[in-house]
Amino acid sequence: MSFRVTAAHSSRITKPKKAPAFKRSSSGSSPYSALPRRKPAPNSRSKKQAPDDDEDDDDDYFGDRLEDLGLVKALATDLTLRDVPQALLYTRGKMWSPIPERRAGMNSTRIAETLNFRASLPPIVTVSHIQALLNSPTTVEKEMAELVKKGAIRRITVGGRGNLGEVLILTKDLDDMIAKSNLSQDVKEKFTKILHTHPTALGMPRSGFLDEEFKELMRAGFITSSTPGGTLSDFFSRPAEGSRGTMTSINSISRAASGSLAAVGGEGAVHEAGGSGGGVKTPSGSGELSLALPATGSFLKVLSNARSHLVSLLSKSKFRQAPETLLRQRWDGGIGADDEASAARRNRGEFDGVLPGRTKKWKQFHGVSFEWVLGECVGAGLVEVFNTGSVGRGVRAL
């Protein structure tokens, strides 16, 4: 058997194929003709995505300090505010922002919860806010003392969270709170009479109430047990505190028998030292009771958290200062405006700010207004407002 290999099968020479008739040849060579063609990559930033619940703007548009032309003496721009009662009503009216009628971002249940929370707070205003609102603190203090003496307003000392100090409430508002409370009719009349008889008193003697009446007023939140004097550390450090009637002093504890109840401070030792004991200790008939208001703790919580949040917004700037307009936008959370231009952007499907219900202002603070929290921060000495001359008023953290 023979094997024949011809050149036709073994040759590597191939004939060039004829170009198709529909393909046009280029008349000239281009240096870019050999490069591969690629489609442009999609731009990830072409569509502006909406931020999350409350994404704050960290961009600082002012790289230098704002020009300081002097501090603002009075925050109120309304010239009709001339006395303390007008300023008190003005401050209460500016505490809450109105709930948006459209695009609120909150359902009916959450709106009802917000309105109920607002209605549950006592109608009080801090003394520091009134002094920051008006022009002369000395004149304001004299007017407050005169109005308290006449019985038009009531001054109440509030301790605890944030060291709030003293608050003001109209006497008629306090009478309405007592009338709408769950107290018995006899206790309401007796408590109201004592308040009207002593308009300047911050407390009242325990001998003025029976034990059952005292417990009823304390459960309703109108009075609270006050510490006779000194701080919490004084009760455990000073050996002479036994004369004040407390069992938590070192002098009285050292004389008690080992293993007895008096050796650990006695019954209600934590309550007498200013803490919150497991129950209400029955008063002994001596000492004083501090006047209080129901739901003051909720008011203090909102106030202290709002102050801290506003100061944190100023900390985002380089020099811890910002124009008032920019700070207001940060407080509102970058919500969309309610105008024709914003409506046109929404119709085109473009991003136009977050809904109010997704911002911290409404989720955590129930719609506290910027004017109110700014006045509280100025009165508390956390920030100061100054004139810039170019971008309006500026706010600086202290």
Residues 280-331: tens digit of each pLDDT: 444 444 556 788 899 988 999 999 999 999 999 998 888 899 999 889 989 9
Beta bridge partners of 291: 223
The tokens for 141 are 């203090």
Q: How far apart are CA 313 and CA 331, in angstroms?
A: 8
Domains, in order of start, for the chain: 84-235+271-295 (no CATH), 236-270 (no CATH), 298-397 (1.10.10)
pLDDT given at position 121: 94
Q: Which long-range contacts does 224-229 make (Cβ < 8 Å, 24+ apart)? A: 224/289, 224/290, 224/292, 225/271, 225/281, 225/283, 225/289, 225/290, 226/287, 226/288, 226/289, 226/290, 227/272, 227/273, 227/274, 228/287
Beta bridge partners of 125: 168
Q: How far apart are CA 335 and CA 370, in angstroms?
A: 14
Which parts of the chain register pLDDT below 70? 1-63, 79, 159-164, 226-288, 334-353
At a CB cut-off of 8 Å and minimum separation 6, what does 167 contact? 124, 125, 126, 127, 155, 156, 158
Beta bridge partners of 224: 290
The model carries a pTM of 0.68
Helix axis angle, 171-179 to 185-197, nearest 10°: 160
> Given the DSSP bridges, would you call strands 165-170 and 153-158 parallel, antiparallel or unpaired?
antiparallel
Burial (Cβ within 10 Å: 0-12, 13-18, ≥19) of residue 121: middle
pLDDT given at position 97: 92
CA distances, 160 to each of 167, 223, 268, 343, 365 (Å): 13, 15, 19, 46, 20
CA distances, 167 to each of 139, 145, 147, 198, 370 (Å): 17, 13, 14, 17, 20
H helix intervals, 28-164: 84-93, 108-120, 127-133, 137-150
